[in-house]
Amino acid sequence: FLIMSNPVDLKTQKYDRQLRLWATTGQQALEEANICLLNATPTGCEILKNLVLPGVGLVTIVDEQKVTKQDIHNNFFLDPDSTGQSKAKSAAELLQELNEDASVVHIERNPSDLIHNSPEFFDPFSVIVTVNMVHDDMLKLSTICNESNKILIAVKNKGLVGVFSIQSPEHTVIETHPDNATDLRLATPFQHLVDYVDTFNLDELDQTDHGQVPFVIVLLKYVDAWKKEDNSIQIPLSYQQKKELEKRIAAGKRTPDEENFDEAISNAWRLCSNDHISDEVRHIFEEPSCQSAHSDSPHFWILARAVRDFVENEGGGHLPLSGKLPDMKSDTLNYIGLQNVYREKALCDLEAVKKRVRGFLEGSEVSIPDETIEIFCKNASNVRVIQYRPLTENHVLAEKLVNWVKTDENICYLLGYYGADKFRSKYGHLPVSQVDFNPFKEEVQAYIESLGVSSADTQEVMSSEATDKAILNFIRFGDMETPNLAALVGGLAAQEAIKLITHQYIPINNTCVFNGITSTSSVFEI
């Protein structure tokens, strides 16, 4: 007879692949997001494409312009029949076709007018995206978003180089999804693990069982033998010591193909890499928001304080154990036995943290779901906090600029965008022809000098080939966005928007430059 499994709902089927990336909590955050795009340029529409497809809740396109023939050539989301019609309306209609779960609406208004005369317009939105906005308008919008705690993503894309910067309220990330998040506590094994390891006697096992012992057991057995032989309490940490340990483990193999011993050798590095608390997490523990956390604090800081107190008390200097085991060569019985040891320790640590959280919240109406506490404990070693600055304060520091120019030419393209803003403010248009080359270069130099860079260093920057390339990128392409760069930069910006909305994965801090000439990207914290 057939055993019918529970049917998967259509929504889960539709979003199956992305649910594996950010789970239902991330998907819910996306569906609750309210996005505003200012300027329906090719890049702006590509950004929305990458937000509408995964199911962002509501999108509003603001643009007062009409569709031109040039727009048809550059923008995939405008068709020839829309020439002369509202650009915002035409783009919204085609973007809506991508996903019926999303709602895409349009407003035919001048973004600059809304920014300066109707700042309350932006109140409903959680994320505001701008593309190629005039610098003065961007500064005003930055202030509006900063005062109302909104995420702002400012994108500029011309020719073969695109730039985007992020402004956000304090951004906390619990689920950072690191490549290697396994904490096996090999350097300082907890008592239950020590007791479990002691139940194994490798010398007494037959050939089959000897090859089925998990590498964690094998490794700890040889470390224990090392300590006894050297009459030491220290684990082998130096390069020579680890090499010697690996030789001893290799010598213990009964057959050349014992995979569990090979795994023990290849995982010897874990002895000194996973037990410590990272500088990023220690910095979080030292933050005033953590040290003075109370029942009215954001959940992240209450949990951070509870975990910090756990580390200083029950944890004995260690974070809560995640309890996660990697795949390894082992029979089912041994793997489940080891898994239970780690799971029981993780549950014990979790209960201790829960108790501390309940203590913080005692007498208040605030509650934090057990699931949230569990997620924090599982990811405690990789949580992050990013303090973004308003775009009004984004200026390249002089000492950083000199070093960046020497190591990464993409900074010159960012300087080109800053210089273009100054050029536009002075001449009323962007540099779009060869006659603008020298005046444009003068504005780039003026910007660098305004940072306090010395004359010698300024001349070094201005004489670099990369600076001329950055200036020519504007001159050659004028006010045009190329479709290929629009798609690529749009994808990059949308990816960062999803990270910010879902509070999963680590977003950039705070400016990204993509260079289509060399196919490279750089992130600068300015």
In terms of pLDDT, which residue wins out, 76 or 470? Answer: 76
Q: Is the pLDDT of residue 77 over 60?
A: yes
* 214-228 per-position pLDDT tens digit: 999 999 999 998 888
- Return the pLDDT at 182: 80
Q: Assign 128 to helix, strand or coil.
A: strand
* 231 phi, psi to nearest 5 deg: 50, 50
Q: Is the pLDDT of residue 367 over 80?
A: yes
- Return the pLDDT at 406: 81
Q: What's the token pair of residue 285? A: 């523990």
Residue 131's pLDDT band, with cuts at 50, 70 and 90, is very high
Burial of 324 by CB count in 10 Å (0-12 exposed, 13-18 middle, 19+ buried)?
middle
Quote the strand ranges of 341-488, DSSP E.
384-386
Separation CA 353–CA 332 (nearest Å): 31
In terms of pLDDT, which residue wins out, 232 or 514? Answer: 514
Residue 466's pLDDT band, with cuts at 50, 70 and 90, is confident
Mean pLDDT calculated for residue range 147-167: 95
Q: Tell me: do 157 and 263 sit in the same domain.
A: no
Q: Is residue 152 part of a domain?
A: yes
Domain end position, chosen among 329, 363, 386: 386
Of 167-176, 265-274, 298-307, where does mean pLDDT reach its minimum?
Answer: 265-274
- Return the pLDDT at 146: 95
The strand pairing partners of 167, in sequence order, are 152
- Return the pLDDT at 1: 43
Residue 393's pLDDT band, with cuts at 50, 70 and 90, is confident
* 309-358 per-position pLDDT tens digit: 999 999 999 999 999 899 999 999 999 999 999 999 999 999 999 999 99
* 90-127 per-position pLDDT tens digit: 999 999 999 999 999 999 999 999 999 999 999 999 99
- What is the rounded radius of gyration, in angstroms, for the C-alpha atoms of the chain? 28
Q: Is residue 431 part of a domain?
A: yes
In our burial notation (b when 16+ CB lie closer than 10 A, e otherwise), range 374-388 reads: bbbbbbbbbbbbbeb
**Start-to-end CA span in the chain (Å):** 65
Domain end position, chosen among 256, 272, 288: 272
Q: Tell me: do 129 and 253 sit in the same domain.
A: no
Q: Is residue 192 part of a domain?
A: no
The residue type of 451 is: L
Q: Tell me: do 367 and 409 sit in the same domain.
A: no
Q: Is residue 102 part of a domain?
A: yes
Q: Tell me: do 213 and 326 sit in the same domain.
A: no
Q: Is residue 177 part of a domain?
A: no
CB 252 within 8 A of CB 222: yes
Separation CA 307–CA 301 (nearest Å): 10
Helix H, strand E, coil C: the string for 214-248 is CHHHHHHHHHHHHHHHHCCCCCCCCHHHHHHHHHH
Range of the domain at 217: 203-272
Q: Tell me: do 364 and 314 sit in the same domain.
A: yes
Separation CA 181–CA 378 (nearest Å): 9
The residue type of 417 is: Y
Q: What is this structure's pTM?
A: 0.89
Q: Is residue 5 part of a domain?
A: no
Mean pLDDT over each residue of the chain, to the nearest integer: 91
Q: Tell me: do 24 and 133 sit in the same domain.
A: yes
Q: Is residue 225 part of a domain?
A: yes
Q: Tell me: do 412 and 398 sit in the same domain.
A: yes
Domain end position, chosen among 272, 306, 322: 272
Please name which of 305, 280, 37 lies closest in space to residue 154, comparing C-alpha atoms: 37
Q: Tell me: do 403 and 382 sit in the same domain.
A: no
Q: Is the pLDDT of residue 480 over 90?
A: no
Task: With residue 114 as reference, give the H or E element that holds it.
Answer: helix 111-117
Most confident of 1-15, 280-294, 383-397, 475-489: 280-294
Q: Is residue 2 part of a domain?
A: no
Mean pLDDT calculated for residue range 446-451: 87
Q: What's the token pair of residue 23? A: 């789970």
Q: Tell me: do 25 and 69 sit in the same domain.
A: yes
Separation CA 423–CA 44 (nearest Å): 23
Task: With residue 52 as reference, give the H or E element that holds it.
Answer: helix 42-52
Q: Tell me: do 156 and 123 sit in the same domain.
A: yes
CB 324 within 8 A of CB 333: no
Q: CATH number for the domain including 105?
A: 3.40.50.720
Residue 397's pLDDT band, with cuts at 50, 70 and 90, is confident
**Percent of the chain topping pLDDT 70:** 96
Separation CA 105–CA 91 (nearest Å): 9
Q: How many domains does the chain have?
A: 4
- Return the pLDDT at 301: 97
Q: What's the token pair of residue 176? A: 């950072």
Burial of 250 by CB count in 10 Å (0-12 exposed, 13-18 middle, 19+ buried)?
middle
The residue type of 397 is: L
* 47-65 per-position pLDDT tens digit: 999 999 999 999 999 999 9
**Percent of the chain topping pLDDT 90:** 65
Q: Tell me: do 87 and 62 sit in the same domain.
A: yes
- Return the pLDDT at 262: 95
CB 436 within 8 A of CB 475: yes
Quote the strand ranges of 159-223, DSSP E.
161-167, 171-173
CB 327 within 8 A of CB 293: no
CB 247 within 8 A of CB 261: no
Q: Tell me: do 28 and 46 sit in the same domain.
A: yes
Q: Is the pLDDT of residue 5 over 60?
A: no
